[in-house]
Structure 1
């Protein structure tokens, strides 16, 4: 029996016991990672941390499909558009630097519901992932952010199923290609003015937006910039030094993001020629 199988069995078999332990242990505020946290927050974060730790140890592969599944008509497929007005190439230079990595059709999910007509304004959202986990679907566990953001703004949100770096042909710049595919879809297919498009990204999704904007500004200026780009705890430093410093952070023991997740993400996303 492999080590990963043993770890999976251990995690699943002991989870009920650990849940009960957390429920009881965190009743006194003094036992919570932060006394200001509610009991629910303390227990939930322990569960999330265990979930992520399990996925990292198992090198879990989030299912990716272009079929709607449980999301029904909220799920759509975006096809890459290689050129826009005047024959301008959409993907060039850095985004065309690796022959094995080419633009592909990608999925996306509307939040909170599918618009009844073509929207006049839009938020394009990129979920957190460390470039190796999760997705935009309701079942992927990343729907709270876009749902809440839509409630606060009143704008429809399209959350993007960008490629995760789990294979050699899905490392950088695959996810950036997908980000451009989504933005060009909004500009060219939905015909939404760039002044009415907002880019939103959490964690690795924030990193993705920064890379996308840098590409537009430095290598493809004829693609217009969006209205704005709010970033939610963006992952801006993927160096080994930054990874090492994670464990030195004063909040490390109460955080659910650990060194192993960052290490897996950076080693998967960054191709050897960029190291």
Structure 2
């Protein structure tokens, strides 16, 4: 028997291997188990022509911004464009070698410049939201910078490990080096992009929301989630330009702050202005931006 096994060793090994393969269901004669995979959401021809044609949309607004207990005149700019974004490094792809690993995102740049007394302020927020919501449902990155005569500060939010990692630097002692985590929830900062992508899917009702980074930075607050009430209605006023306008209202009852985004109901859902109400030095003030001009130009890096 021992001699027979030795002479036919390879045959015995082969028989055992085939038997094991059948037992584990990995032979070429069996269908492999399949796991349903998310599919790409088809983009409309209208959306593709407007957003994927290599152009950026630049909107300029007349601004009144609350600071130091008064409303200060200034200018705001909203720039929207699509980019190839690397979800692992969370930066824009700029080379052909990395572009294969990139995903398309809609990027918002929100900037405000205004003078408050003896100090000039410049604030910029950038938001990177994947276009394909079924594959990448979460906004991947937000960054906000603030510059004034008092100093500079920077705040960044990154989606990693199923949560948002917040890091910051500032000239203010209490914010000199920030590093903390907040749960994976909707970001107020991404709602601007969500309006442009598909306002029909905007969240409504009572939810937990991560507040806007620019307002948090101006008020020296952390980005801890807050209870919010969100409503979408027709805009009934006459202050903002455009037809078929919608008003998207975000209320924070525990923070006594309200943000209203006014936009066109028809594609491409241009944002024609906004109002933001909160206390500034014990005065309840409403900052306001009203659209003055929209242009498109070839996007370059």
TM-score relative to the length of structure 1: 0.25
Q: Which has the higher helix share?
A: 1
Greater length-normalized contact order (CA 8 Å, ≥ 6 residues apart): 1
Q: Which structure has the bigger radius of gyration?
A: 2
